[in-house]
């Protein structure tokens, strides 16, 4: 087994072997968030560029693998929203870095068309290490129509030995012409026992791993992120009590999208309990110990759906959180 395969989650390693066994210059990794699409995409690109690849992936020891690890490989181009590239420690193009550092603009939340156009020049250059070139696009749905159109020709007939891997949890938002030019791979759901074992290997206690995995809807990466951010049993108990008091302070450390997601889980499970069904995400003891009428819960659910559509671009985050908490209190009381 290669060094990188030993470090990967077992369900990611299994899928990497499947992808490497097929030929093709473009893959589209799709499926729900939290299943490690980005990790699989990075492992695939690294294996393509590795000096000593195996059927299980990159060796993890060669100069090429080191270049990928330190984000300096000359034959790898990563296209992400600028905000995500900063969070993932990927270097920005010099002009973008200058504009952001100079406060001329904020980091983009989408994949800019300028970045897509640079793929054309990248694909036409000679491979620096002689193993071909790789382009990773994540999340691919963050390309707008102009950006996606700029990628089409290069994606269909890339110059030289350039391969693409696109990853997204919203493939339906991609242009049909983008999807048709890629081999599609739907992310596999891991077995619950292996995800609990993997979470324990990351430092979680068995009971904590099971509870957070359930709260994350079975998505292991989301469960690990919740643990790292302190969203444990105490977080959920405090949040439900704060909602009854119309106190938005329990949501203060969350982004608006994360706050909406947490409230949707509470609303869903309260609705399930109201009709005698078991909750899907949370332990019943973490939920408000009262009956909420279904019409009120459905009205709250609709409001949360509306909020989710605009969560990435709120006009006023503090005001948006107050509105969400007020809606929750009305439904629960």
Domain boundaries, the chain: 3-186, 232-332
- The CA-atom distances, in angstroms, between 185 and each of 24, 159, 162, 306 are 12, 24, 19, 30
For 3-186, give the CATH class: alpha beta
pLDDT of residue 4 exceeding 80, the answer is: no
For 232-332, give the CATH class: mainly alpha
22 burial class (0-12, 13-18, 19+ CB within 10 angstroms)? Answer: exposed
pLDDT of residue 314 exceeding 60, the answer is: no
Mean pLDDT of all residues belonging to the chain: 90
| % of the chain with per-residue pLDDT over 70 | 97
Looking at the DSSP assignment, which residues form a beta bridge with residue 165?
27, 136
The answer to whether residues 214 and 269 touch, using CB atoms and an 8 Å cutoff, is no
pLDDT of residue 166: 97
86 burial class (0-12, 13-18, 19+ CB within 10 angstroms)? Answer: middle
Q: How many residues does the chain have?
A: 333
The answer to whether residues 194 and 10 touch, using CB atoms and an 8 Å cutoff, is yes
CB neighbours of residue 42 within 10 Å: 24
pLDDT digits (tens, 9 = 90+) for 27-66: 999 999 889 999 999 999 999 999 999 999 999 999 999 9
Confidence band for 67, pLDDT divided at 50, 70 and 90: very high
pLDDT of residue 2: 52
- The CA-atom distances, in angstroms, between 108 and each of 62, 90, 209, 270, 321 are 34, 14, 34, 37, 23
Confidence band for 73, pLDDT divided at 50, 70 and 90: very high
Q: What is the DSSP letter of 90?
A: P
Question: DSSP alpha helices (H): ranges in the chain?
Answer: 3-7, 10-20, 37-49, 63-69, 82-87, 94-101, 113-124, 145-156, 176-180, 192-201, 206-215, 220-228, 233-244, 256-274, 294-309, 317-332
pLDDT digits (tens, 9 = 90+) for 177-202: 999 999 999 999 998 789 999 999 99
In angstroms, the CA 328 to CA 265 distance is 12
Q: What angle do CA 310, 39, 144 make, to 5 degrees?
A: 35
Encoded tokens for 22: 């097929």
- The CA-atom distances, in angstroms, between 189 and each of 25, 30, 111, 185, 270 are 25, 12, 28, 12, 26
């Amino acid at each position: 087994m290669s060094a990188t395969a030993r470090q990967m989650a077992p369900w990611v390693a299994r899928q990497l072997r499947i992808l490497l066994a097929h030929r093709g210059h473009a893959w589209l990794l799709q499926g729900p968030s939290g299943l490690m699409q980005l990790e699989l995409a990075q492992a695939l690109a690294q294996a393509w560029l590795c000096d000593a690849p195996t059927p299980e992936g990159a060796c993890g020891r060669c100069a090429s693998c080191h270049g990928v690890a330190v984000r300096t490989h000359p034959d790898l181009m990563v296209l992400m929203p600028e905000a995500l590239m900063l969070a993932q420690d990927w270097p920005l193009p010099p002009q973008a870095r200058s504009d952001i550092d100079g406060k001329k603009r904020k980091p983009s939340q989408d994949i800019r068309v300028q970045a897509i156009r640079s793929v054309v020049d990248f694909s036409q250059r000679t491979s620096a290490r002689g193993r071909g070139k790789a382009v990773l696009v994540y999340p691919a749905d963050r390309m707008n129509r102009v950006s996606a159109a700029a990628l089409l020709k290069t994606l269909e007939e890339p110059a030289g030995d350039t391969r693409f891997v696109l990853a997204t949890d919203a493939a339906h938002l991609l242009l049909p012409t983008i999807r048709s030019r890629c081999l599609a791979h739907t992310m596999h759901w891991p077995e619950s026992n292996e995800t609990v074992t993997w979470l324990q290997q990351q430092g979680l206690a068995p009971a904590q791993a099971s509870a957070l995995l359930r709260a994350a809807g079975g998505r292991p990466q989301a469960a690990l992120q919740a643990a790292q951010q302190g969203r444990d049993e105490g977080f959920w108990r405090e949040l439900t009590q704060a909602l009854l008091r119309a106190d938005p302070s329990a949501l203060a450390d969350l982004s608006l999208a994360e706050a909406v997601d947490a409230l949707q889980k509470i609303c869903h499970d309260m609705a399930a309990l109201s009709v005698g069904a078991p909750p899907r995400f949370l332990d019943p003891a973490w939920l408000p110990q009262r009956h909420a009428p279904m019409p009120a819960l459905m009205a709250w659910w609709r409001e949360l759906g509306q909020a989710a559509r605009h969560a990435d671009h709120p006009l006023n985050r503090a005001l948006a959180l107050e509105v969400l908490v007020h809606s929750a209190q009305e439904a629960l009381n």
